[in-house]
Chain A
Amino acid sequence: MPDAPLILAIIMMIALNLYAIMGGADYGGGVWDLLAVGKRAKEQRDLIAGAIGPIWEANHVWLILVVVILFSAFPVAFSVVSIALHIPLTLLLLGIIARGTAFTFRKYDSTKDFVQRRWGRIFAVASLITPVLLGIVVGAISEGSVTADVAGKSFDQVYIKPWCNGFCFAVGGFALVLFSFLAAVYSTVFAQTEELKTDFQRRALGAQGACACLALLVFLLSERSAPGLRESLAHSSWSILLQAATAVCAVSSSVALLKRKFHIARFFAAGQVSLILWGWGLAQYPYLIRPDTTINNAQGAASTQTLLIAAIASGAILLFPSFYFLLKVFRHQIDQPISK
């Protein structure tokens, strides 16, 4: 029986996983909104808006769950990350605000074209920047120079260096292309016409190529920047198996895309992104923040951890069916042509 900190860490990973494969696709949708071209540009944008509409507010909850578990169960880690990564986290927040509000305003503001374009542009640009910042934060906590011990250190050492470097930006770029890949693959399923499906099929395959390049770049840069993570990824027995499984998913999703089996592609694409994330999580274990914050030395009161697990478990029993119900109701919506 794993102990409470480990269970909570696993729950955080599950929440991150759900945020990546659902919320991540929302960000990716914004990217394709920005890159919508050709005579079907408007149809592409409508498809994306229709796919995000009802659930974007709900998807925020996965991120909130991670934050709440972090500060309730691992208060020390929350404090460290909040101090050292103040700048990227603040920018991340501004991105979240700009994205969410612009999306809503576009929906409820005047339907005139120029107004729509203005909100659409803000939504799309924020969708581009926010995942990069998320990736930067993930990169920074994996790397090993985050510290909240500010005494005698320069501003640069504490607040800039841990995240402002090639490795973290590469992880940011990796997150962005992974999310774009997911959004493109999901759109091939949602698209109503063959032309639109083809548009997103091409985008998905392009994004898949970019994912492969950035994965390689991150791996190469990690040798110097994140040796601890790299060591764990390159030399653990589980890692070989996991990487093989990730490769199988990546190949399968690409082949399914080429053969226009879009439902199958969606399954393997989500699997691919999830496995990459869990690979990172396992390599990071037992650290929450490298170099010295672990799930054991950052934990708060045991009584709180037990209650948290109980609350999350009982909440999940109530909420997963509700969420499934929403997705089902909503699936109907997009199976019908979007009427404007």
Chain B
Amino acid sequence: MSDLIFARAQMGFSLAFHIIFAVAGIALPVMMVIAESLWLKTGDETYKTITKRWARGTAVLFAVGAVSGTVLSFELGLLWPEFMKWSGSIIGLPFALEGYAFFTEAIFLGIYLYGWDKVNKSMHLISGWIVAISGALSAVFVVTANAWMNSPTGFKLVGNLPTEIDPIKAMSSPAALPQVLHMLIAAYAAIGLLAAGVHAFMLLRDRQNEFHRRAFGICLALGCTMAVLEPISGDLIAQMVANTQPVKLAALEGQFDTMRGAPLRIGGLPDVEKAETPFSIEIPKLLSFLAHHDFNAEIKGLKEFPREDWPPVLWVHLNFQIMVFCGIIMGLVSMCAGAIYLKTRKLPDHPLFLKAVVAISPLGLLAIESGWMVTELGRQPWVITGILRTSHAVTPMPGLALPFAMFFLVYIILAVVVVVLLIREFSRSADLQVGTAAAPAGEVSDHA
């Protein structure tokens, strides 16, 4: 294998690892402050216990996210020096702003975690909200930089180099808004339903446990709302991709021929040699409608573009199928939860429903990972669409298999440790007696 493959593998692996902690850092603080608000409103101590639990989770995940994010900022240069030389001036601004959002999040998370008995209640709640908002802003800025790579704007090409650079315009590239919305909503849906799954699992053992009932309710409310909203942002993205990155659209649909009234394919294994996508179920004209809101709109096929500009069609298509499948299942379960709640006005706690929530709980993260695979693989062979090829951006440093192997090993170890720690947290919470639940040893004690 070539150094280019190892560089891509290392970058991809680092991003795939970081994204899990990043989305947790976006969504968990929101759940945490909702629980705290409910505690302040109702005076019910169970909510305070929930708040502290989620705050502990946030602290661990945020710390791992902070280091894996620091690593990424270096890896951009270590692996892709030519890309950074080319585009540093253009997309540096959102990274700088992201730095501030991260700093704000770190500062107020410190105040939140260590300040239970140091600042007054409303200041504490406000700190929590600042953590939640700056977490979301971090995502906005980073995704904005990625969106620019997909649909570059804000400069003029002279020869092979950018001039008349306008960083603000670069931040408002066509892909920016749809990608940001899609990512943020996905983060809330994935983490909300993942946490709901954990609490549902506990409720299956002990249906009357107030701690888990209340926590489950909050997770469900957030996760289900967002899971139902996600397809709307998906629609925005579909149109944006159709307009700005027709090759990516063709690859993710396995569409080889240019045609009007193109069908939507469910499943299938695109075969680039034969230029067809067998084993798929085709829904006539739906792709044209989804991409352009017109059943007879023209969709450009892969054959329209030079062969060396095709992304890895099979992988893009499969990842896209996985993402959509996960999204649909999550949306259906969420609508089901909404219907039960509207009818009974009670927490949906039927064992069958709880089991369903447990079963779908990992799907959100799976959808996020496969969605990013679609975005990134779908842009290949370019690192900046149509401008700079990934193979021209990579470092001249030889022997990249070695750093790849080291980071791979370290991240696997970290992942195992984090999972073990979180499982221990969850199982500990199962033994809690409601109301008397104190923070475990080693954590900030409760003086309020």
Interface residues, chain A, CB within 8 Å of chain B?
53-55, 57-58, 60-61, 63-65, 67-69, 71-76, 78-83, 86, 89-90, 92-94, 96-98, 100-101, 103-105, 107-111, 148, 150, 155, 159, 300-301, 303-304, 307-308, 311-312, 315, 318-319, 322-323, 325-326, 329-330, 332-333, 339-340
* B78–A86 CB distance below 8 A: yes
Q: What are the interface flags for B92-106 relative to A under an 8 Å C-beta threshold, 1 for contact and 0 otherwise?
A: 110111011011101
Binary interface profile of B, 101-113, with partner A (CB < 8 Å = 1, else 0)?
A: 0111011111101
B60: CB under 8 A from chain A?
yes
B83 to A, closest residue via Cβ = A79
The 8 A CB mask of B72-104 against A (1 = contact, 0 = none) is: 011111100110111111111101110110111
Q: Is B115 an interface residue (CB 8 A)?
A: yes
Nearest-neighbour CB distance to chain A for B125, whole angstroms, equals 15
Give chain B interface residues in 329-354, CB to chain A under 8 Å.
none
Does the CB pair A54–B417 fall under 8 Å?
no
A100-B63, A312-B96 known; A326 vs B110 contact (CB < 8 Å)? yes
Q: Given the complex of chains A and B, what is the CA–CA distance between A103 and B67 in angstroms? A: 12
Please indicate the chain B residues that have their CB under 8 angstroms from the CB of A109 in the complex: 421
| A55-B73 CB under 8 A given contacts A75-B88, A303-B167, A329-B119 | no
Is A323 touching B107 in the complex (CB atoms < 8 A)? yes
- The answer to whether B104 and A322 touch across the interface, beta carbons within 8 angstroms, is yes
Given contacts A108-B60, A304-B92, A308-B92, contact A79 B118 (CB under 8 A): no
- B448, CB-defined interface residue at 8 Å: no
| Majority secondary structure of chain A interface residues (helix, strand, loop or mixed) | helix
Residues in chain B within 8 A of chain A (CB atoms): 56, 59-60, 62-64, 66-68, 70-71, 73-78, 81-82, 84-93, 95-97, 99-100, 102-104, 106-111, 113-115, 118-119, 162, 165-168, 395-398, 403, 406-407, 410, 414, 417, 421, 424, 441-442, 445
Q: How far is the CA of A98 from the CA of B70 in the complex (A)?
A: 13
Within 8 Å by CB of A57, from B84, B95, B106, lies B106
Q: Would you give the shortest CB distance from A122 to chain B, in whole angstroms?
A: 10
What's the Cα separation between A89 and B407 when bound, in Å?
13
> Considering the chains assembled together, what is the distance between the CA atoms of A179 and B409 in angstroms?
29
List 14 interface pairs A-B (beta carbons < 8 Å), by A numbering.
A54-B114, A55-B110, A60-B70, A71-B76, A83-B396, A90-B78, A94-B410, A96-B67, A100-B63, A101-B63, A108-B442, A148-B81, A307-B93, A329-B110
Instruction: Name the distance in Å between B359's Cβ and chain A's nearest Cβ.
Output: 28
How far, in angstroms, from A312 to B92 measured CA to CA in the complex? Answer: 12
CB of B421 within 8 A of CB of A108, answer yes
**B397 A100 Cβ-Cβ under 8 A:** no
B97 in contact with A311 (CB, 8 Å): yes
Minimal beta-carbon separation of B253 from chain A (angstroms): 36
A304 touches which one: B77, B93, B97 (CB < 8 A)? Answer: B93
B59 proximity list for chain A (CB < 8 A): 104, 108
**Among the listed A108, A311, A339, which residue makes an inter-chain contact with B56, where contact means beta carbons less than 8 Å apart?**
A108
Please indicate the chain B residues that have their CB under 8 angstroms from the CB of A69 in the complex. Answer: 92, 96
Residue in contact with B85 in the complex, picked from A53, A63, A78, A322, CB distance below 8 Å: A78
Within the complex, which residue of B88, B93, B396, B442 is in contact with A340, where a contact is CB–CB below 8 Å? B442
Q: Which chain A residues border B442 with CB–CB below 8 Å?
A: 107-108, 111, 340
Docked-complex contact A330 and B414, CB < 8 angstroms: no
CB distance from A24 to the nearest CB of B (A): 16
Shortest CB-to-CB span from B167 to chain A, Å, is 5
Q: Which residue on A lies nearest to B73, using beta carbons?
A: A67
Q: Which residue of A lies closest to B413 (CB)?
A: A101
Asked whether A304 and B107 contact (CB < 8 A) given A61-B102, A97-B410, the answer is no
Q: Do A79 and B73 have beta carbons less than 8 Å apart?
A: no
List chain A residues, Cβ under 8 A from B102: 61, 64
Chain B residue contacts of A148, Cβ below 8 A? 81
**Complex interface: chain A residues within 8 A of B97 (CB):** 311, 315
Residues of A within 8 A of B414 (CB): 97, 101
B406 and A330 contact, CB distance less than 8 A: no
Check if A303 sits within 8 Å of B166, measured CB to CB.
yes
Q: Known: A68-B73, A82-B81, A100-B66. Contact between A57 and B109, CB under 8 A?
A: yes
Q: Is the CB of B92 within 8 A of A57?
A: no
Set A57, A58, A82, A301: member contacting B165, Cβ < 8 A = A301
A58 & B110 in contact (Cβ 8 Å cutoff): yes
B106 pairs with A61, CB closer than 8 A: yes
Q: Decide: B77 and A78 in contact? CB cutoff 8 A.
A: yes
Contact B165–A304 (Cβ < 8 Å): yes
CA–CA, A238 and B395, complex, Å: 39
